[in-house]
């Protein structure tokens, strides 16, 4: 969410005339993230987030915007896209596809505890159950096809050991049969900075609750258990990438209380933890070595997910059984 395309207050004020959101009071560029240009926008009627899409096409964008609208309609606390006066969710601003969505309350947690991971596990399962009625499909934009394209782009920056690691893991993932697993629209980027908590304090008796799930622009159609693995690899690890057993159990048990994993998903779990690690190691390598210029930029360290991948290759955290586990599909 860096600023690649600058927007002046005058340009935005004119653009907002096609929306029923009031007049512009304030705008501020958002530095976090790497994919799109984002601004916090305050108007006389509320607070919003403006996004200008730097890579996604106008053909792809309806999947994301309609997914957010669908989930918001199901009671999931995610940004709701605002339709313009022509009832369209997508416009153009400074030559880029653009949208404006509701700004949700809360802030990310730097140091989540077991109770936070439990809340997120339940929310993630609720989202996976909710998307059963969402019929649009879009293959994971950072799935295996993209990974096999991106790997040669970064290989020249790696030493021989890391090139071998990358090639070995890509071949391992190619051999998996993830297509047989329950699938649907998944967030695919459920990191700590994409979940907002509000209320209370961070103490042991905190009443903090999830106020918002944001940044759906890596969403796609994939296995639900992939989404769960991505989440665990960020929310339930220490700085070295080792899995924190307490947080992991809290996440996984709460998830399965709302949606029980079937036998095939449980069998795929070790490989899926590796798949989730590979996806972010490779995408961070690509963004680190082949960055785009931006006014504000925020590139993530690829080494963190290299360590996580090697740890997951060495051994996976086993899935705890939920009390209602029967081996049947959820």
Residues 217 and 189 in one domain: yes
Please check whether residues 131 and 45 belong to one and the same domain.
Answer: no
Q: How many domains does the chain have?
A: 2
Same domain as 45, residue 162: no
The C-alpha atoms of residue 252 and residue 247 are separated, in whole angstroms, by 9
293 and 262 fall within a common domain: yes
Q: Given this model, what pLDDT does residue 297 score?
A: 53
Separation between Cα atoms, residue 308 and residue 220, nearest integer Å: 23
Q: What is the pLDDT along the chain (330 residues), one digit of tens a residue?
A: 467 899 999 999 999 999 999 999 999 999 875 689 999 999 999 999 999 999 898 999 999 999 999 999 999 999 999 999 999 999 999 999 999 999 999 999 999 999 999 999 999 999 999 999 999 999 999 999 999 999 999 999 999 999 999 999 999 999 999 999 999 999 999 999 999 999 866 555 567 999 999 999 999 999 999 999 999 999 999 999 999 999 999 999 999 999 999 999 999 999 999 999 999 999 999 999 998 776 545 668 899 999 999 999 998 778 886 555 444 434
Residue in the structure block whose two tokens are 């690691």? 165
**Cα separation, 19 vs 285, whole angstroms:** 39
* Domain assignment of residue 328, yes or no: no
pLDDT, residue 328, reads 41
Q: How far apart are CA 64 and CA 187, in angstroms?
A: 10
Residue-level pLDDT at 175: 97
Considering the domain architecture, whether residues 52 and 92 belong to the same structural domain is answered as yes
The answer to whether position 330 is within a domain reads no
Question: What is the domain extent for residue 216?
Answer: 114-314
Q: Is residue 320 part of a domain?
A: no
Residues 95 and 118 in one domain: no
Beta bridge partner(s), residue 130: none
Number of H helices, E strands in the chain: 9, 9
Nearest residue to 128 (alpha-carbon basis) of 219, 194, 247: 219
Strand partners, 26: 42
pTM of the model: 0.92
141 lies in the same domain as 267: yes
Q: What is the pLDDT of residue 3?
A: 78
Q: Which residue has the tokens 């991971």?
A: 117
Quick one: 15 and 47 in the same domain?
A: yes
235 and 186 in a common domain: yes
Query: CA 259 → CA 81, 231, 252, distances in Å?
Result: 27, 15, 10
User: Is residue 329 included in any domain, yes or no?
Assistant: no
Q: How much is the pLDDT for 206?
A: 66
What does the pLDDT read at residue 33? 56
Res 159: pLDDT: 98
The pLDDT score that the predictor gives to residue 131 is: 97
Nearest CA to 33 out of 146, 221, 189 is that of 189
In a domain, 327, yes or no: no
CA distance linking residue 46 with residue 55, whole number of Å:
28
């Amino acid at each position: 969410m860096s600023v690649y395309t600058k927007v002046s207050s005058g340009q935005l004020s004119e653009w907002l005339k096609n929306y029923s959101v009031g007049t512009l009071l304030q705008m501020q560029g958002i530095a976090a993230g790497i994919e799109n240009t984002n601004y916090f926008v305050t108007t006389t009627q509320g607070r919003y987030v403006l996004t200008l899409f730097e890579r996604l096409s106008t053909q792809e964008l309806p999947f994301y915007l309609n997914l957010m609208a669908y989930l918001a309609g199901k009671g999931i606390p995610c940004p709701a896209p605002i339709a313009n006066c022509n009832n369209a969710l997508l416009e153009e601003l400074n030559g880029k596809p653009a949208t404006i969505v509701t700004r949700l309350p809360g802030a990310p947690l730097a140091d989540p505890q077991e109770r936070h991971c439990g809340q997120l596990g339940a929310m993630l399962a609720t989202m996976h159950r909710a998307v059963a009625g969402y019929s649009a499909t879009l293959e994971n934009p950072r799935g295996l096809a993209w990974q096999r394209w991106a790997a040669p782009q970064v290989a020249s920056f790696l030493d021989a050991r890391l090139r071998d690691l990358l090639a070995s893991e890509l071949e391992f993932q190619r051999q998996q049969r993830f297509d047989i697993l329950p699938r649907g629209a998944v967030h695919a980027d459920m990191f700590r900075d994409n979940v907002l908590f509000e209320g209370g304090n961070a103490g042991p008796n905190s009443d903090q609750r999830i106020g918002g799930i944001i940044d759906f622009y890596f969403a796609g159609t994939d296995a639900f258990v992939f989404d769960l693995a991505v989440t665990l690899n960020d929310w339930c690890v220490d700085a070295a990438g080792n899995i924190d057993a307490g947080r992991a159990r809290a996440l996984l048990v709460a998830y399965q209380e709302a949606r029980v994993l079937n036998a095939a998903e449980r069998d795929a779990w070790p490989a899926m933890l590796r798949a989730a690690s590979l996806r972010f190691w490779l995408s961070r390598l690509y963004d680190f070595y082949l960055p785009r210029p931006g006014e504000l930029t925020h590139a993530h360290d690829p080494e963190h997910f290299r360590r996580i991948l090697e740890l997951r290759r060495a051994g996976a955290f086993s899935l705890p059984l939920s009390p209602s586990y029967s081996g049947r599909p959820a």
